[in-house]
Structure 1
């Protein structure tokens, strides 16, 4: 697995794995962190057929700003004919995903390996 040089945010690390760009969110994903993450997320989801995994394994706090990032990433990837998967195991973050219905649109996997093994992007509707 290759790592890209110099992370642009302490809340985000980007790397390549299994033909996907993996965006590893970390720490507290609030409005300030989201502002730091969004430009990189937009860069990764631009162009035809992006293949993206968003990994929330190292997230300690996740608010509506983080949800907006996930919705944005999903929309951009699917609009470009790409694939997107989510990794999440934190009980409180999973609860937020369930309460908002996002778990139906972007079903969380428990590991990166499971996400990389999924054949298609989640594209359900609420």
Structure 2
């Protein structure tokens, strides 16, 4: 949460869509304990759809801590239990470093960008954050 012009605003958001047959979850901003508490139930619900292909996009994440890693691990667990597949689009160097230090890098299927069948769903669209 950040304070700007006398108002507290959330430092994170999430957008979702279906692209190329996959449920795409785009995480944006600071994924910390507050983000996990706010976004976690929705991310888990989307990951729990029976046999769904889920892509979590971390390119817009500016900060990730252990709570954010926990959010990703919960989404992975839910997806696997429901017979689905979870892939993650790599974030920036800081995000990758946190995941590497946490020792969970091998738990995910990593994408450097969206596959051709799943173009960046938000490119060129004015989607509210």
3-state SS, counterpart of residue 11 of structure 1: strand
Paired residue for 2:122? none
Paired residue for 1:84? 86
The TM-score with structure 1 as length reference comes to 0.78
Which fold has the larger relative contact order, with Cα–Cα distance below 8 Å and residues 6 or more apart in sequence? 2
3-state SS, counterpart of residue 89 of structure 1: coil
* CA displacement 1:60-108 (0-9 Å, x = unmatched): 0001111011100000001111011001130011111112221101142
Higher normalized helix content (fraction of residues) = 1
Q: 1:42 to 1:108 in 2, by over 3 A?
A: same
Say whether the 8 Å CA contact 2:56–2:89 is kept in structure 1: yes
Paired residue for 2:100? 98
Say whether the 8 Å CA contact 1:52–1:85 is kept in structure 2: yes
Larger radius of gyration: 2
Question: Is residue 15 of structure 1 aligned with residue 14 of structure 2?
Answer: no
Paired residue for 1:37? 39
Paired residue for 1:3? none
Paired residue for 1:4? none
Give the aligned length: 109
The TM-score with structure 2 as length reference comes to 0.76
Q: 1:49 to 1:35 in 2, by over 3 A?
A: same
* CA displacement 1:17-51 (0-9 Å, x = unmatched): 11110000000011111111112112212242121
